Structure 1
Amino acid sequence: MRDHSRSEQAVGFLLGLVGEEAAARVRARTGLPGPESRAAAERRLTRAWAWARRLPSSVVLWILENDDPKLNALVWHHADIDAGLRRALARGVPFGPGRTGSLLTARFRPGEEPEVPESYVRHGLVGALRAVTSMNEGRAAASMVVTRADWHTVAEADGERPLPGYARWALSVRPDCPPSVRAGFGSHAKFTHRLRTAGVLESPARYATSYAPAVEVLEVLAMGHLLFPARLPEAEDALRPLVHDHLGDREEAWTALAQQMETFPGTAPELLITAGAAA
């Protein structure tokens, strides 16, 4: 079976939200391709990860939460990831909720871990964070926060006496920063903007409904059964009512969607509304 184009993948993902019978009727009437095979999806995953650099950082974290050595290796080699995440990968630290211990099978060669900052060697974790006076220093110190115990230490230190602003900023934009710790750093508009710019998302539903262009988001979601199966249902639940309301099993609506998919600049909800209205 041939590999699907990204727009075919995107349309196929949405078709999967209307139910098998309705999807089969739409495909029969429009000639849209059937679902991509798992083998073809796996080939795409290992071959076409250039788009990983466009993934929001939280999406990368959702992939790492699988604690799958093969996925970790793909992220390591192809994604532009935070130094702290890279350090955790190099040390075999698990990302999945509730998981403990070391992922020995996911470890990388010694020396591949990012350089340990001198301030950490001199002052330790909390001391290095308190000594931060610039964003570069903040990122370097924050990269030494690796384990859940480290995050607990950070929260205690900030509770005793607020950490410097640059340190808080660098920590807050880490996708693996626990929500409870991030909440202690602030909630004003500028802070929220920084998080969005860094690609930190509160949920897969937010990614599915607020990121653009739609074809790129939907292509990633189409690979969600391989990349982040535990998180995918949240994104599907956010889009399913919109698919039913604006497309349903209407042949002309799905045809309009397929025609607009590759070039539409807006979000997935905007695309669904536009395709439904055009029909």
Structure 2
Amino acid sequence: MLDDTTRLAVGLLLDLTDDDTAARVRARIGLHSGEPSRLARRRIRRAWNWSPVPSSVALWTLEQDDPQLNALVWPHLGRNTGLRRAVVRGLPFGPGRTAPVPVDPKLAGEEPEIPGSYVRHGLVGALRAVDSMSRARAASSMVLTREDWSTVAEADAEQPLPGYTRWVLSIRPDCPPALRARFGTHAKFTHRLRQAGVLDGPAAYATGHGPAVRVLEVLAMGRLMFPARVPDAERALRPLVHRHLGNREEAWAVLAQIAETFHGTAPELLMTAGALA
């Protein structure tokens, strides 16, 4: 009997193969057509039970500019005070969008306190006055709009911002990639970004993060929560599904059996299942 997480994960992968193979595999492992979609909707409604997700995944959801989704993802914004502030102010996240986003009533009055340094010195002054990580987090929480990020980039180009400020801004998932690259590109920096949940994109998440079953579950829910982003992940996974599993029912059955306890990435899971079958 497959658990719900595995059903979501396998269901996502089956959608990347042909209809005949998918039907035969579903019959083999006892996964009904349409079941993953129902599970995804149910899992989304139970957001408080989710395991932690990378901050970039939360941003992809915010990019839908949907008040209900914003409220669902709110508990998973963690210490991203800037994202929290933007949500409760109704600021849009979707590319090219400018219209304000209605705020879910549950989030009314939830805006974090405005830091005193911002009141005294303004945005750039507050970012330059930073001398600790906590003050950097507070000042950086006032970087909210695309115009704010442009102001930050101009200020840093004129005179580099303090190290604390640069780091806190760089681990914001909404930090413009060009600005983040200016803050650092060496291996240690990019490794720490990854640990902080900043992803290069859905394809990198699908193929480079684990455990595989958890990543695939998130992507399955992503069809409802960040549908514009999921196709990139599917394009990265589809050739791997065809290469390692293809239309072999036994390989798919092995995948379903080992997915729950497999700790590697999705490509490693697919390769292992294909080799064991």
Q: TM-score band (shorter)?
A: over 0.9
Deviations 1:249-276 (A, max 9, x none): 1111011101101101111111101000
1:111–1:46 distance in 2 versus 1, CA, 3 Å: same
Match of residue 84, structure 2, among 63, 75, 86: 86
Q: Any conservation in 2 of the 1:89–1:106 contact (CA below 8 Å)?
A: no
CA distance in structure 2 between the partners assigned to 1:243 and 1:219 by the alignment? 16
Which amino acid is 2:30 matched to?
A: G
Q: Which residue of 1 aligns with 2:43?
A: 44
Tell me by how many angstroms 1:22 deviates.
1.7
2:207 corresponds to: 209
1:270 pairs with one of 248, 268, 271 = 268
Cα displacement string for residues 215-248 of structure 1 (whole angstroms, at most 9, x for unaligned residues): 1111111112101100000000111111101111
Alignment length (residue pairs): 276
2:216–2:266 Cα contact (<8 Å) kept? yes
1:16 and 2:44 are equivalent in the alignment: no
Q: TM-score, normalised by structure 1?
A: 0.93
1:147 is aligned to 2:145 = yes
RMSD: 1.8
For 1:133, the equivalent position in structure 2 comes to: 131
State whether structure 2 residue 28 is matched by structure 1 residue 26. Answer: no
State TM-score, norm by structure 2: 0.94
TM superposition shift of 1:141? 0.8
1:256 and 2:261 aligned: no
How far apart, CA to CA, are the structure 1 residues paired with 2:77 and 2:178? 26
Deviations 1:77-130 (A, max 9, x none): 454251000000010000000000311345765531011111111111100100
Partner of 2:195: 197
Distance apart, 1:43 and its partner CA: 2.2
Q: Does 1:35 align with 2:34?
A: yes
CA–CA separation in structure 2 for the residues paired with 1:128 and 1:199: 25
Q: Which residue of 2 aligns with 1:247?
A: 245
**Is 1:99 matched up with 2:134?**
no
Unaligned runs of 5+ in 2: none
Distance 1:63 1:110, change over 3 A: closer
Could you say which residue in structure 1 is the equivalent of 2:112? 114
**1:176 aligned partner, one-letter code:** D
User: How far has the Cα of 1:29 moved from its partner?
Assistant: 3.8
- SS where residue 86 of structure 2 aligns? helix
Q: Is the 8 A contact 1:125 1:141 kept in 2?
A: yes
Q: Deviations over 1:7-33 (max 9, x none)?
A: 111111111111222211222344343
* Counterpart Cα distance in 1 of 2:62 and 2:97: 12
